[in-house]
Structure 1
């Protein structure tokens, strides 16, 4: 059994240091991580709340070292020279990372990772000109995944989800958000949330997406929404299955009026809210979600200039999902306008079997550079600081500074070479709360 206690030692911060104290066999040992050419803390980006990020906001420390508390939180940041001066001797175990780059673990803030089945036939249909809405009307789209997911056992779904989360972790992701939404009945939606909880992974964030599409048993959207509000939200709350809710606001799916009822009921019960908005058409969802102080509005392809201005002046994060835009062959979100006007943005793969069947952060980030004209510092901030705000985790995660959890990844290449070519290059190591996790 490993026991933990807090220990703080005040020091002037020159670079970056994390102290991990472990009581092993009754002897306290502090781990000092050394030999890091570039230590990217993103401390300045966090202070700017992920807005209008510049290269200097990466807060890069050359020849860094670091030390972490027994609870996995950062206690002090400093340069290697300062670390060796203050933290040497028999009470300290020195660990040489031998890394070119250490940076915060990424956060994947929008995924539909819990599903069974594939939808490759629909991809061919879309390429021949059949619209997403028409495929849905034919019984495809979300409904086909609902059918396959309902037929799968909870154990089968759990194994699929574990594999997908591990695939994200291999890419340097710590926190993974996972939505329900492929059950579309109260019984099945609750089952999916129970599958997520069965992982017992504190870094997997569940989101209740009951209003993803019409329910097969209750095809009338008004009636289904009433069931979600009267029965679904109270049951999710009672069983503590999720503290976040989401909704798909789109033509042929849920309307603004239905979304407003859902948001009001959810916020009255203490849920955090997020929303799929302005993906295929502008419905006014971004403005509605912002008024309910949503943590995020996601997709944001068809924003008006007024939407952009309002989001720039709000606490709501705009989550951009360029992989979905690629697969649907639609326009990309106006990232430059959002960023330049002061909005906070995050990136996500939107991994799902229909409109974004890819878990590749590399692909998503390349599209952000090529199609949305985002800079590398903006992309790093979007995967870390921005994503943490989108999940309401900014006080604990998203960058490497005193008081936050030591979630970081170790790379054998410089930060300036990231997201340059389409190769699945993974970090050598991933640490979550100061502990190494298996990613091979």
Structure 2
């Protein structure tokens, strides 16, 4: 791995102050903004950061040193996309029309649509075909500056194909991939009860996920009409007993106890959090649970948006993500997510930038490795010709000019 000196950075956002605050109550000062900067990268990690005028002479004179001039571009940490369902087959565009005409998500699911529709197509697709379409989706995230990408299983709902999906996810190239086992996404038709399906996952599938080192994270969809708080508690506690980190899809459609359970179990994150009320806001603010907000899904579902301002003002740590999936958030546009956070959830731009870097790194328990540009961390960064105030402003725009992961150009 070649050592590299990045010079002529017009505007550098390190996010180091936001990281020091654990992503809580972030202000413009916490962006770590400095002009005319340089970064020295050694073995894929940041070794020195400072003024262009103060580059240590011994660094600049090294043999075999690769130099990259940012030519006045803005540089910031690589984005961390912490909630996707990227590995799936088929389309649910027809369901979008049904929902638009007034049919509920639960009613579509009862008719065999929703997750079960994707399940059938994902089970049938070959590994090669699934990997091909998944890699295309990964490349789309890279083009937007994503250097760390979370991918959940949960669209196969049997042992063989859940394992297949996790293997496909781990084989994808480009960003740093974090896999999550979400077998508890819906109940497949071969099981009579949600409890029986969770027992199967606990006894049969989780041991294989652990043995094959396919993921160290377990997620569950806690929702009325899906997995109850009580059954989810038992399942997640068993997963923790096996050494897994846990997280939850919580309180999306109803106040179903997901946020409370997340705090109780010290989960890495509670995701969605649309229906939470003041007691849950205060609990989350005092906890280490990262609140992952997914406004693109709320747009597609025509839901209300999570109480982001209440969470942030109370001191909670917030992350943003696309929730990219075939049914309820079929978009990979990170600019759309950030813009919705600003317009609909009244988040400030510094809060949005921190949520897509620092907050998201905490959601993946990677805050010591990524999410900010600091000595010792991975040299993950993007370069853009926009100044920082133009970020998360224009839907559909692909602003990164260059994207680096661990000091290697990936876009």
**TM-score interval, smaller chain:** over 0.9
1:324 to 294, 297, 301: 297
The aligned counterpart of 2:55 is: 83
- Number of equivalenced pairs: 410
- Structure 1 residue 246 corresponds to structure 2 residue 219: yes
Gaps of 5+ in 2: none
- Structure 1 residue 173 corresponds to structure 2 residue 146: yes
| Pair 218,90 (structure 1): closer, same or farther in 2 beyond 3 Å | closer
2:122 to 146, 149, 167: 149
For residues 314-337 of structure 1, give each alpha carbon's deviation from its aligned partner in whole angstroms, at most 9, with x where no partner exists. Answer: 001000000000000010000000
Q: What is the CA-CA distance between 1:200 and the residue it aligns to?
A: 6.2
Q: What is the CA-CA distance between 1:368 and the residue it aligns to?
A: 0.3
For residues 8-36 of structure 1, give each alpha carbon's deviation from its aligned partner in whole angstroms, at most 9, with x where no partner exists. Answer: xxxxxxxxxxxxxx3xxxxxxx4321111
Local SS of the residue matching 1:392: coil
- Structure 1 residue 315 corresponds to structure 2 residue 309: no
| Pair 282,152 (structure 1): closer, same or farther in 2 beyond 3 Å | same
2:186 to 205, 208, 213: 213
Aligned positions of 1:366-381 closer than 5 A: 366-381=339-354
The aligned counterpart of 1:63 is: 36
- Structure 1 residue 341 corresponds to structure 2 residue 306: no
2:202 to 205, 209, 229: 229
After the TM superposition, which of the residue ranges 112-121 and 421-430 deviates more from structure 2? 421-430
After the TM superposition, which of the residue ranges 87-96 and 259-268 deviates more from structure 2? 87-96
Gaps of 5+ in 1: 3-21, 23-29
| Pair 93,151 (structure 1): closer, same or farther in 2 beyond 3 Å | closer
Aligned positions of 1:13-412 closer than 5 A: 22=2, 30-70=3-43, 72-83=44-55, 85=57, 87-89=59-61, 91=63, 92-199=65-172, 203-412=176-385
After the TM superposition, which of the residue ranges 95-104 and 165-174 deviates more from structure 2? 95-104
Contact 1:277 / 1:283 at 8 angstroms: preserved in 2?
yes
The aligned counterpart of 1:10 is: none
Q: Distance in 2 between matches of 1:351 and 1:388?
A: 18
Local SS of the residue matching 2:235: helix
Contact 1:185 / 1:217 at 8 angstroms: preserved in 2?
no
Q: Distance in 2 between matches of 1:85 and 1:223?
A: 66
The aligned counterpart of 1:6 is: none
User: RCO (CA 8 Å, sep 6+): is it higher in 1 or 2?
Assistant: 2
For residues 120-141 of structure 1, give each alpha carbon's deviation from its aligned partner in whole angstroms, at most 9, with x where no partner exists. Answer: 1111111111100000001001
Q: What is the CA-CA distance between 1:418 and the residue it aligns to?
A: 1.3
**Larger-Rg structure:** 1
Q: What is the CA-CA distance between 1:423 and the residue it aligns to?
A: 3.4
Local SS of the residue matching 1:346: strand
Root-mean-square deviation (CA, aligned residues, Å) is 1.3
Q: Distance in 2 between matches of 1:276 and 1:192?
A: 19
Q: Distance in 2 between matches of 1:67 and 1:102?
A: 14
| Pair 142,410 (structure 1): closer, same or farther in 2 beyond 3 Å | same
Give every structure 1 segment of 4 or more consecutive aligned residues whose post-TM-superposition deviation is greater than 6 Å: none
TM-score by length of 2: 0.97
Q: What is the CA-CA distance between 1:348 and the residue it aligns to?
A: 0.3
